DNA sequence: CGGCATCCTTCGCGATACTG
DNA sequence: CAGTATCGCGAAGGATGCCG
């Protein structure tokens, strides 16, 4: 075993720094305060800008705008423009790639619930 | 199905806000820049403060100190003190609870690697 | 050696106003 | 309606120095 290899067996054959970089990437992409909220708000149907802002309580237009740009850059959503309509209609819809997050989201939800339970019991 | 239920099927029977809270908890606990690095640095053996600081490149004493306190509060590590030695020896070791993170870590590593691959291919 | 105190910087985010 | 521009706060983190 190389010095760099992690003894935790999360990444068989993966160096620690490679693992840490991958984790940092994930945190960078979905670690923002609103990122996953926007994705979830789009999970059942495409939505328009102001619709999203009403749906996601507390988000400002500036932040929502930035989130949507980043999400599009990362391939999570598509921006659909209907230029024929007047005024122009812009809709955001989830791309297939957003489903690749399901495992990450699931494990985070699971761990978060367990952790809260654990904390509660320690309080008793 | 209640209005609150998520149409993404990550949390069967779980409301969106419950999911989002659980995710926020997880991000709060392990979302710090250094948290997982410290845990991984401790994964093969207990280590002392200055040893950790050398091992984790770039971390300051202040930040490491805070991380270790938080990690202990959250039950991830134990602080072992050998008071008989002079000067006193302090060691940090992983607690069993830190292994509960393995699924989260694994999925984040996996997704991060895939995402980087995807980005690379788009560059071509 | 194992930290804590202090000061400073950076970055994410919030609030508000404004525009085509 | 769908955003952009501007301003600025607050918290996380970095740099440095000191102490038992």
Does strand C come within 7 Å of the CB of B88?
A: yes
**For residue A30, what pLDDT is reported?**
97
**For residue B82, what pLDDT is reported?**
95
Q: Please judge whether A43 and B7 are an interchain contact, meaning their C-beta atoms are less than 8 angstroms apart.
A: yes
- The closest alpha carbon to B116, from A84, A8, A24, A61, belongs to A24
pLDDT in tens, A30-74: 999 999 999 999 999 999 999 999 999 999 999 999 999 999 999
- For A39-69, give one letter per residue: b (16+ CB within 10 A) or e: bbbbbeeebeeeebbeebeebeeebbeebbe
**For residue A1, what pLDDT is reported?**
47
> Looking at strand D, which nucleotides approach a protein CB closer than 7 A?
1-6, 12-17, 20
Residue A17 has pLDDT above 50, yes or no: yes
- The closest alpha carbon to A53, from A38, A43, A72, A75, belongs to A38
pLDDT in tens, B80-122: 999 999 899 999 999 999 999 999 999 999 999 999 999 999 8
Which element (helix H / strand E) includes A97?
Answer: none
Cα–Cα distance list, B48 to A17, B95, B96 (Å): 21, 15, 19
Percent with pLDDT over 90 in chain A = 78
Q: d(Cα A81, Cα A78) in Å, to the nearest integer?
A: 10
Q: Is A123 within 8 Å of A64 (Cβ atoms)? A: no
pLDDT in tens, B7-63: 665 656 788 899 999 999 999 999 999 999 999 999 999 999 999 999 999 999 999
Cα–Cα distance list, B104 to B85, B92, B122 (Å): 38, 22, 27
**More confident call, B72 vs A124:** B72
**For residue A94, what pLDDT is reported?**
98
Taking contacts as CB-CB distances below 8 angstroms, the residues of chain B near A112 are 21-26
Does strand C come within 7 Å of the CB of B73?
A: no
Sign of CA dihedral B115, B116, B121, B123: positive
> How many residues in total does chain B contain?
124
Does strand D come within 7 Å of the CB of A51?
A: yes
């Amino acid at each position: 075993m190389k010095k760099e290899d992690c003894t935790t067996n999360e990444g068989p054959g993966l160096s620690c720094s490679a693992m840490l970089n991958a984790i940092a990437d994930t945190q960078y992409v979905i670690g923002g305060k609103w990122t996953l909220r926007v994705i979830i708000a789009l999970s059942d149907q495409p939505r328009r800008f102001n619709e999203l802002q009403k749906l996601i309580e507390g988000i400002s237009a500036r932040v929502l705008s930035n989130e949507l740009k980043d999400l599009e850059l990362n391939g999570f959503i598509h921006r659909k423009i209907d230029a024929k309509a007047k005024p122009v209609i812009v809709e955001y819809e989830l791309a297939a790639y957003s489903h690749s997050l399901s495992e990450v989201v699931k494990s985070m939800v699971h761990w978060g619930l367990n952790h809260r339970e654990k904390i509660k019991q320690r309080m008793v």
